[in-house]
Amino acid sequence: MADKVFIFDGQNVVIADPNTLVFASDFLEETYRYLFGRLPANGAYEPYIDIDTITTCANPFDIVARAAFHGELVPPPPGNPANPARAQVQYHVRYILESHPALFGLLNNLTSSSTIAIANAEFLLGQPVDGGNFIRAKAVIDRIARSIWSRGRDSSESQSSVSALGQISENLLSRALEAHLGGEFFRVTGNSVKSYGDFVALCLPNNLWISVKSNYARERLLASGYSNDIVGAGFFVQAAEFTNAVRIRNFQRAGFLAMYVPDVAVSDAQAAAGSSTYQEVIEAYDANGVAHPLNINGKPFIRPLSGLSNDIGALMAMNPISMRLTVNF
């Protein structure tokens, strides 16, 4: 055998020959070899294997029976899947992908986890996700998610996809901010203060809190305010949440200095139109001849999400703390 080479965005991505790998278990090796054997030698990086055909009745590969044989049956997550047999197959394929996420975009009809989706994006980008590329990583993740379904999802699969989407968004934003972690910028872990935000930067006259959300702002962001200095960030879908003057005023009254809105497509409609929530927000203000909202410091209130890491980095570069003023943010 030999490595198999696929093309993604004009670049070669390599699926390794199993003979060159060291596997953690016999089940992982057997299943990887089966999936590898069903792939073409080369081609576009797109789905080739329908997971629905990896059945529990040995047609053509009984992945659940093989897991039982090797003593590696995967326990189901909580809940009642709409199609238990199909879900059981997916649990086991996802178990494989936790160790070999490069295979993910080559499979059809499979729910994912944030861990697998982000690791697959890192494989395709050829670099870890950080503050410089997390927006591009989200675009890659969404593109793969749109490509892997060749049938309608059942209710359990749809619910799982929505849950994973939220986790992916929040994990990507956390990755974007991790580079700044240190003694004066840290992740909030205590339940007693977690409601204020997810990260906090030591500043004057007030500390700056960062509240990370996934797809919708609504009351979830307002609940983070408490009249602190705070910024909101998320892969928000609806531009209308940031074009209503009353809603903006409510955010500002709660202490928000900025809202970081995605400048990458986060819905199928945006992807088709080549648009983004940030672009839709800006165009809505311009079309109505309304000035873009400013924060209490006279700075832009609506900002592109891709600038979040740079803005936090510039703030934290101001030393000592006596120079790090939220009145300049």
> What's the token pair of residue 103?
């295979």
Which of 188, 226, 191, 223 lies closest to 206, judged by CA? 226
- Please list the pLDDT of the chain residue by residue as tens digits (329 residues): 799 999 999 999 999 999 999 999 999 999 999 999 999 999 999 999 999 988 766 567 889 999 999 999 988 877 888 898 899 999 999 999 999 999 999 999 998 899 999 999 999 999 999 999 999 999 999 999 999 999 999 988 888 888 888 889 889 988 999 889 988 999 888 777 777 788 999 999 989 999 887 766 554 555 554 567 999 999 998 999 999 999 999 889 888 999 999 999 988 899 899 999 999 999 999 999 999 999 999 999 999 999 999 999 999 999 899 899 999 89
Q: Map 9-78 to HEC letters.
A: CCEEEEECCHHHCCCCCHHHHHHHHHHHHHCCCEEECCCCEEHHHECCCCCECCHHHHHHHCCCCCCCCC
Partners of 182 in the beta sheet? 185
Burial 160-181 (b: 16+ CB within 10 A, else e): beeebbbbbbbbbbbbbbeebe
pTM for the full model?
A: 0.89
CA 306 from centre of chain: 14
Residue 18 one-letter amino acid: P
Determine the pLDDT at residue 219.
47
β 49-50/199-201 pair status: unpaired
Backbone angles phi, psi at 196, to 5 degrees: -75, -30
Rounded Cα–Cα distance for residues 259 and 237 (Å): 13
